[in-house]
Chains A and B, each alone.
Chain A
Amino acid sequence: MTIQTTQAPETGVAIANSLTAGRLPKSAPWTILVAAIAVSAAVFAVVSFGSGSGYNWGGALFVGALLYIPAIWLFSTLVEGRRRAMDRLVTALVTGAFLLAMIPLVSLGITVVTLGAARFDADFFSMSMRNVTGEGGGIVHAIVGTLLMTGAAAVISIPIGLMTSIYLVEYGRGRLARGVTFLVDVMTGIPSIVAGLFAYSLFAIFLGPGTRTGIAGAVALSLLMIPVVVRSSEEMLRLVPNELREAAFALGVPKWLTIVKVVLPTSIAGITTGVMLSIARVIGETAPLLIAAGFTASVNYNLFDGRMQSLPVFVYTQYANQGNPPQAYLDRAWAAALTLILIVMALNLIARLVARFFAPKFGR
């Protein structure tokens, strides 16, 4: 779609190269962007001069970027025609959406890293909060709790979730399949705090009132995790082309082997992403763990006995129940938040490596 030789130039401007006729030069978007920002900067300068307030750099950049969108559309319409203008407009909008989303995300990242760095030291990873008041202390107990509870939740929910999605995609027929699809939908709607209440009450029935254990926390988390695993795996399994399955069947491969050797490897990257997202989703859950697993200042390795601290609950309690001096508590909260994000980052990396290792090679 780059050859436009039939249209004679009406403006009388000589065309150096017929292949680039009727197109904005490559540098045009950048020129327009700079111009738009310059205009907005000038307007902001006048306003700030007029009102006597400080110059708003962020605002000038933001408005400049906004100006660019109609500007590029206008220029492109004039020179290139409606279809290309639309294309440029969408390119600008899509890139803009990305940049817009980056603003809060970067701000959040900077906040967590700068505030978290204050207590990101050796003590922090070698101590618990037992017998610690005021300054000092660490998060060993919270890391242990988070890993154990999230691990237990993953052990419960990944097999159930994955098998359910396999059931829905490969076996599911009739009433049960429709029912399960429906119920997975319902399950996505379980508010996390209700999951916590449920797990707490369930274990309270068997083990007496006031019982708070790690396993109750894990059950609450898996309630939240299963539907995410099912939903994302189902979506990915459905994207595996039927031709692959049919080819395997035609070769006489049993159905279960087809699923294990053909369908799952094909979709493994997507499924892994889904699983990681589900872990990421629950590892930061505060409300259900607060209710079901409680919190403590000491390390507890036993999922089945005693309260268990976790990182998000640690962050919350450090913020909500500040002692003296408050800054020590806030520093610990931010450093724990940073740790939590780093842990998820590590899990994510590992999952990606695993996915890359097992996934069949595609063209793209």
Chain B
Amino acid sequence: MNLKRLGVPAVIAVTAAIALSSCASNEGGAAPSESASTLSGNLVGAGASSQDAAQQSWIAGFQTANPDVTVDYDPSGSGAGRETFLEGASNFAGSDRAFKDEELAAGGFKKCAADSTIVELPLYISPIAVIFNVEGVDSLDLDAATVAGIFAGTITNWNDPAIAATNPDATLPDLAITPVHRSDDSGTTENFTEYLGAAAADVWTWEADGVWPLEGGEAAQGTSGLVDAVSNGNGTIGYADASRAGDLGTVSIKVGDEFVPYSPEAAAAIVDHSPFAEGRAEGDLAIDIDRTSEEAGVYPIVLVSYLIACGQYEDPANVDLVKGYLSYIASPEGQDTAAADAGSAPISDSLREKITAAIDSIK
């Protein structure tokens, strides 16, 4: 009697598993592939959660084209992704920042050949929108100093003259500003604070950090939590991946003499106008984003996320798979899927050339 009861959940689980095993209609099934891909095997990647939505669509596209391949991407976070890659537990990593020079010098990438360099590819570019929820206001023009003032807590009301000065046409209410920041450690926060520090150094005196540097203020978990907090509040302002801005009001940022709203093109443009980091190996395309650029039509608050692989793998078994996957991501098709599903900015053709060359060099 005792045993019977103990077994109930297990029996249910087994029965249900058997019953369910026949009906995952989109799984398995030798989908006849016209291209007769020769690639097969498992590819494991881990890293930045910001890339997750894009990775899902890349994986879907790549697996459809190569039915014998399974790609897993674990959005465990940039730091964990870099560490997993370093330890050799993943074939490639996704990271919101490139490896630092000293980390590269220390070396010890276990999946890579002994004297191999690593390949870092800026394949995921995403504009960060400054979003707000104020009734009757759909968009605002702000300069970097004002944005920094709002988030630093020195500008506390929507009818502040600093905001009114650049928005003569908007009807700004007498309402307290509630700035919302991310409560978790994130690449979005790091890029946003880096921008504030570079473009409004007088107001924003904190260093760029993945953890919000100020004490106090409204905090929310993850992009979704932040967007929810901004949309559920009144007089709230925050920053999030542009694809998630939805119906919320967004800020056009002052670059040079004009105000630029976020757009994929403007985000890709700032990457093209920024120099590559110096002293890097061939194929290491780390970028130093020029946050203070005054070029026309660039949007300076972007998050550039890298895909990181070995220049030369210790074990050649997975090389074709890695190259195939990265090539798919870099292809116009891959970039467009990500743009549709994740709202990222497709890379420009000039950047694609350099990336393709770097992928070809992997061995």
Which of A's residues lie within 8 Å of B, judged by CB?
A: 125-128, 130-134, 137-138, 140-141, 143-144, 147-148, 150-152, 154-155, 158-159, 162, 208-210, 212, 260, 264-265, 268, 272, 275, 279, 294, 296-299, 301, 307, 319-324, 326, 347, 350-351, 354, 358
Given A131-B64, A150-B9, A351-B8, the answer on whether A326 and B246 have CB atoms closer than 8 Å is yes
A321 CA to B244 CA in the complex, in Å? 11
Inter-chain contact A321/B243, CB cutoff 8 Å: no
Q: Which of B22-30, B189-197, B315-323 contacts A (4 or more CB under 8 A)?
A: B22-30
Inter-chain contact A326/B244, CB cutoff 8 Å: yes
B1-22 interface (Cβ within 8 A of A): 1-2, 4-6, 8-10, 12-14, 16-17, 20-21
Which single member of A144, A209, A268, A307 contacts B20 (CB below 8 Å)?
Answer: A144
Inter-chain contact A130/B63, CB cutoff 8 Å: yes
Q: Which of B70-78, B209-217, B303-311 contacts A (4 or more CB under 8 A)?
A: B70-78
Given A134-B341, A298-B70, A299-B27, the answer on whether A147 and B13 have CB atoms closer than 8 Å is yes
Inter-chain contact A148/B340, CB cutoff 8 Å: no
Inter-chain contact A128/B52, CB cutoff 8 Å: no
For B84, give the chain A residue with the smallest CB separation.
A210
A141 CA to B24 CA in the complex, in Å? 8
Q: Which of B53-61, B97-105, B136-144 contacts A (4 or more CB under 8 A)?
A: B53-61
User: Which one of A127, A133, A138, A350 has the highest number of Cβ atoms from chain B below 10 Å of its Cβ?
Assistant: A133
Given A272-B5, A326-B246, the answer on whether A133 and B21 have CB atoms closer than 8 Å is no
Inter-chain contact A320/B224, CB cutoff 8 Å: yes
A272 CA to B26 CA in the complex, in Å? 38
Q: List 27 A-B contacts (CB under 8 A).
A: A126-B23, A127-B24, A128-B24, A128-B26, A130-B60, A131-B59, A131-B60, A131-B64, A132-B60, A133-B53, A140-B20, A140-B27, A155-B10, A158-B6, A209-B87, A212-B74, A275-B5, A294-B74, A297-B59, A321-B52, A321-B53, A322-B244, A323-B243, A324-B342, A351-B5, A354-B4, A358-B1
The smallest beta-carbon distance between A191 and chain B, in angstroms, is 17
Given A134-B341, A209-B84, A272-B5, the answer on whether A323 and B24 have CB atoms closer than 8 Å is no
* Residues from chain A with Cβ under 8 Å of B238 in the complex: none
* Residues from chain A with Cβ under 8 Å of B64 in the complex: 131
* Residues from chain A with Cβ under 8 Å of B179 in the complex: none
What 0/1 readout, one digit per residue, does chain B (204-232) give for beta carbons within 8 Å of chain A? Answer: 00000000000000000011100000000
A132 CA to B17 CA in the complex, in Å? 22
Inter-chain contact B9/A154, CB cutoff 8 Å: yes
Known: A162-B6, A324-B342. 14 other contacts (CB 8 A): A126-B24, A127-B26, A131-B59, A152-B10, A158-B6, A264-B1, A268-B5, A296-B72, A298-B27, A299-B27, A320-B49, A321-B75, A347-B8, A347-B9
For A141, give the chain B residue with the smallest CB separation.
B24
Inter-chain contact A307/B72, CB cutoff 8 Å: yes
The smallest beta-carbon distance between B347 and chain A, in angstroms, is 18
User: Which one of B9, B56, B342 has the highest number of Cβ atoms from chain A below 10 Å of its Cβ?
Assistant: B9
* Residues from chain B with Cβ under 8 Å of A133 in the complex: 53, 56-57, 60, 337, 341
Inter-chain contact B25/A151, CB cutoff 8 Å: no
Given A130-B63, A298-B70, the answer on whether A150 and B13 have CB atoms closer than 8 Å is yes
Inter-chain contact A131/B63, CB cutoff 8 Å: yes
Inter-chain contact A151/B20, CB cutoff 8 Å: no
A279 CA to B13 CA in the complex, in Å? 13
Which single member of B13, B84, B87, B341 contacts A151 (CB below 8 Å)?
Answer: B13
A212 CA to B341 CA in the complex, in Å? 27
B332-363 interface (Cβ within 8 A of A): 337, 340-343
For B70, give the chain A residue with the smallest CB separation.
A298
Q: Does B46 contact A (CB under 8 A)?
A: yes
User: Which one of B5, B17, B222 has the highest number of Cβ atoms from chain A below 10 Å of its Cβ?
Assistant: B5
Inter-chain contact A297/B56, CB cutoff 8 Å: yes
A143 CA to B46 CA in the complex, in Å? 24
* Residues from chain A with Cβ under 8 Å of B59 in the complex: 131, 297
